[in-house]
């Protein structure tokens, strides 16, 4: 514990953030956080504050930072509208298990409940979408609140926390000392592995002819990637990943069979339906993964490993529910595990991959060669980046094409909004990721719709000289909604067509070099030019307006009811 010293609450907050290893902070000042920002003026060489152009940009940037680095992302906003503008990102982080500490200002404690200017009850608003939140009304509470917030955010199943600090607490003098939080009564974030249950799971695995591992983001969050590979190789078991689990396994690993779910790979989905044992690790059986649960994996027993007990049995009845950290479980599964050849099972995988080659991969380019397709862009981007880039997507068709056609050699390389599906996530999240991993190439893959929701963050990129590559796939539609309207609503394109601005002029206004391509012959050079750029760069690609993402499992359908075309 550090020696006590007299400081004001605003400075105590910054000192506590430094104690927790915070070096980057995303925020937007306002009336009820001015005292904190006044102290930030003196701490600006120790804490790198990134001034975003909107509070939603700050929280999404903190998310991208956390997802790329594995550290806790931190953002700050003022009271009232500043705080409420964080809520979308907080809800997104809660669903996607992203560790955040969100700090908001609040009116002085004596004015709480008076409907004072810019007062909002952010504690009540965020209670359903945070792991923990707390309102500070006295400066003396700040160090303990920060220590508790970081411990809760990063431990167990990670997630967002919020600290709301009344203005009087920011200016009061206090005796500062800091003690990290190491435990909390009645909060047990790392469950003790049930060794007997794990041994029963191994027996099921050894008896299975057609096992399949379903790897979710929990594998990445627990740092279990190597344990997953060793377990799969020991038992010679194929691996499929959820959308959030993408990049936990390198695409070229011989046991990797693709991504699961609505727009997943044929082999991964068909193997689910024909498997006799699913080993689900760190995933939650989302409806986008299962489709119709009544017809999901009809032949399979299920082993489900999750650190959050609430997820076990929530969406599906399982045979073995193991409340455990993913790495602990995978390490335990290696004990007594038998290696099986599984020739017929891998032959089935190759048959399904051939089906996808014939029905999908061979049709990813415009047969007339006049239009560029989104699939074509992402496939060529993957060739240029060679699996080394961090790909951050927005939500919609750009997201699904990126998930399907990107290639990854390294974990924490695919960042997207999964559970909430937040349009506007991509640009600020990519910005935060680049701040967190400045030595890695980071590419934001955006649709024209999602880009325009948060494109004011180009100002943040300009001011902070963030070397982010921005790829805008412009089809002049809200593409995924239009796809559903085409397939299920008789092509009634109700308010999904976009009249877009000249993105090159907008980029130029922010001193960001850009290029626009419209023909397939231009694409390769343009992507290489973007990759070679030393700083920020925007590449706009005009793509086929009515391109669809296939294969597709219609909402409510079984994974076996795949659509391959219109």
- Indicate which residues carry an active-site annotation: 55, 117-118, 167, 480
| Longest CA–CA separation in the chain, Å | 74
Q: Which helix (H) or strand (E) holds 479?
A: helix 479-488
- Between the two ends of the chain, the Cα-to-Cα distance in Å is 65
Tokens of 542: 């005009």
Q: Between vectors from CA 71 to CA 70 and to CA 75, what angle results, nearest 5°?
A: 130
How many Å apart are CA 387 and CA 413, to the nearest integer? 9
How many Å apart are CA 57 and CA 164, to the nearest integer? 19
According to DSSP, the β-strands at 173-176 and 5-8 are antiparallel
How many Å apart are CA 321 and CA 278, to the nearest integer? 12
Contact 347, 224 (CB under 8 A): no
Helix axes 374-385, 520-532, angle to 10 degrees: 40
Task: Name the one residue in this structure whose structure tokens are 């049995």.
Answer: 313
How many Å apart are CA 245 and CA 241, to the nearest integer? 5
How many Å apart are CA 432 and CA 446, to the nearest integer? 15
How many Å apart are CA 96 and CA 306, to the nearest integer? 14
Q: Which helix (H) or strand (E) holds 215?
A: strand 211-215
Q: Is the dihedral of CA 11, 16, 22, 26 positive or negative?
A: negative
- Reduce the DSSP state of residue 303 to 3 states and report it: strand
């Amino acid at each position: 514990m550090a020696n006590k010293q007299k400081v004001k609450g605003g400075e105590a907050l910054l000192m506590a953030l430094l104690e927790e290893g915070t070096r980057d902070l995303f925020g937007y000042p306002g009336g009820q956080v001015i005292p904190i920002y006044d102290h930030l003026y003196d701490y600006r060489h120790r804490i790198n504050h990134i001034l975003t152009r909107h509070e939603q940009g700050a929280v999404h940037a903190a998310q991208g930072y956390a997802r790329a680095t594995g550290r806790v992302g931190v953002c700050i906003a003022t009271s009232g509208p500043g705080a409420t503008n964080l809520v979308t990102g907080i809800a997104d982080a809660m669903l996607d298990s992203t560790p955040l500490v969100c700090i908001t200002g609040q009116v002085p404690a004596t004015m709480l409940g008076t409907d004072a200017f810019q007062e909002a009850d952010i504690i009540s608003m965020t209670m359903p979408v945070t792991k923990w939140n707390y309102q500070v009304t006295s400066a003396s509470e700040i160090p303990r609140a920060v220590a508790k917030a970081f411990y809760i955010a990063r431990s167990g199943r990670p997630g967002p926390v919020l600290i709301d600090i009344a203005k009087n607490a920011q200016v009061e003098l206090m005796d500062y000392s800091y003690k990290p939080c190491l435990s909390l009564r009645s909060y047990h974030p790392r469950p003790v592995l049930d060794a007997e249950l794990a041994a029963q799971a191994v027996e099921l695995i050894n008896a299975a002819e057609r096992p399949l591992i379903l790897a979710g983001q929990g594998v990445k969050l627990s740092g279990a990637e190597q344990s997953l590979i060793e377990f799969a190789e020991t038992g010679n078991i194929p691996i499929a990943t959820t959308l959030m689990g993408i990049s936990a396994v390198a695409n070229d690993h011989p046991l990797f069979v693709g991504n699961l779910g609505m727009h997943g790979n044929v082999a991964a989905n068909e193997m689910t339906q024909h498997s006799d044992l699913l080993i689900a690790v760190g995933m939650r059986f989302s409806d986008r993964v299962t489709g119709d649960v009544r017809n999901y994996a009809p032949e399979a027993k299920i082993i489900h490993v999750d650190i959050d007990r609430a997820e076990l049995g929530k969406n599906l009845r399982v045979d073995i529910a193991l409340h455990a950290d993913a790495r602990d479980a995978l390490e335990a599964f290696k004990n007594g595990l038998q290696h099986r050849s599984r020739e017929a099972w891998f032959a089935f995988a190759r048959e399904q991959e051939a089906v996808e080659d014939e029905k999908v991969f061979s049709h990813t380019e415009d047969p007339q060669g006049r239009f560029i397709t989104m699939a074509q862009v992402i496939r060529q981007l993957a060739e240029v980046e060679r699996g080394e880039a961090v790909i951050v997507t927005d939500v919609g068709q750009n997201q699904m094409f990126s998930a399907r056609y990107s290639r990854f050699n390294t974990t924490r390389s695919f960042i997207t909004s999964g559970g909430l599906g937040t349009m506007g996530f991509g640009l600020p999240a990519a910005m935060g990721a680049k701040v967190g991993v400045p030595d890695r190439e980071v590419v934001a893959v955006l649709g024209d719709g999602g880009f325009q929701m948060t494109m004011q963050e180009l100002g943040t990129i300009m001011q902070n000289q963030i070397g982010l590559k921005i790829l805008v796939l412009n089809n002049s539609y809200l593409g995924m909604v239009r796809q559903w309207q085409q397939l299920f609503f008789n092509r009634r394109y109700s308010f999904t067509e976009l009249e877009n601005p000249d993105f090159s002029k907008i980029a130029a206004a922010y001193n960001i070099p850009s290029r626009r391509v419209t023909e397939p012959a231009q694409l390769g050079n343009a992507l290489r030019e973007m990759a070679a750029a030393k700083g920020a760069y925007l590449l706009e690609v005009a793509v086929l307006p009515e391109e669809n993402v296939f294969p597709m499992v219609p909402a409510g359908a079984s994974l076996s009811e795949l659509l391959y075309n219109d």
